[in-house]
């Protein structure tokens, strides 16, 4: 039994969930998203919200049950509240700036890195060493954050690089004389 799948996706005020065959559409104040269900799960509107059930008793159906419920929950959260990731830049001369909708990063390379924001993703730079990524799709926000971090991962000796805000960077001891 899936502990996640058993729980219904609670209704949120201002968000409408429409189930049309195998397609679940969610519309809210921040936007609209939809997902096509796999053949091994079913979804229906219940009294408490959207209820996801497995179509059969196979191992794959039970695995897809909780995953599908989590995807629908993320869509409801995304169109009502949205998702946000914060990145921190550490290092002398390392900074970020917005260039239109694109992000311009100075990360110690001989050139500046230009990151084009994907569709549905909003980038903001409140300080030159802080980047905030927002959007309604949880996967897209996380992917954008991972792509920006991949340009210069924090190195273990000085801690210079791009990391998530609040992330612990494991530090190594340097050479001793």
> Distance of CA 74 to CAs 9, 109, 127, 137, 177, Å?
10, 37, 29, 8, 53
Q: What is this structure's pTM?
A: 0.88
pLDDT for residue 3: 78
Pair of tokens at residue 79: 């169109």
| Chain mean pLDDT for the chain | 91
- Full set of structural domains in the chain with CATH: 3-80 (3.90.930.12), 83-164 (3.90.930.12)
pLDDT at 177: 77
Q: What is the pLDDT of residue 125?
A: 95
By mean pLDDT, which of 4-8, 72-76, 140-144 is the weakest? 4-8
In the prediction, which pLDDT does 118 show?
Answer: 93
Cβ atoms of 28 and 9 closer than 8 Å: no
pLDDT recorded at residue 11: 86
37-45: average pLDDT: 92
pLDDT given at position 2: 66
Q: Which long-range contacts (CB under 8 A, 24 or more apart) does 164-167 make?
A: 164/85, 164/86, 164/87, 164/88, 165/86, 165/87, 165/88, 165/130, 166/86, 166/88, 167/88
pLDDT tens for 107-158 read 999 999 999 999 999 999 999 999 999 999 999 999 999 999 999 999 899 8
Distances (CA, A) of 40 to 17, 37, 62, 77, 123: 20, 8, 8, 24, 37
Q: Give the per-residue pLDDT at 1.
A: 62
Give the confidence band of 27 by pLDDT, cuts at 50, 70, 90.
very high
């Amino acid at each position: 039994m899936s502990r996640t799948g058993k729980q219904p996706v609670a209704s949120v005020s201002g968000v409408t969930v429409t189930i049309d065959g195998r397609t679940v559409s969610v519309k809210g104040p921040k936007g609209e998203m939809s997902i096509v269900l796999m053949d091994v799960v079913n979804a229906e509107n219940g009294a408490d919200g959207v209820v996801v059930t497995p179509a059969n008793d196979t191992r794959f159906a039970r695995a897809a049950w909780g995953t599908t419920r989590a995807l629908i929950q993320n869509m409801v959260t995304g169109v009502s509240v949205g998702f946000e990731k914060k990145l921190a830049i550490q290092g002398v001369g390392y900074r970020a700036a917005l260039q239109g909708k694109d992000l311009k990063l100075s990360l110690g390379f001989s050139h500046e890195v230009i990151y084009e924001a994907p569709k549905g993703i909003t980038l903001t730079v409140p300080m030159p060493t802080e980047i905030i990524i927002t959007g309604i799709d949880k996967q897209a926000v996380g992917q954008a954050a991972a792509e920006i971090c991949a340009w210069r991962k924090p190195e273990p000796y000085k801690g210079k690089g791009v990391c998530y805000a609040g992330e612990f960077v494991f530090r190594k001891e340097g050479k001793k004389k």
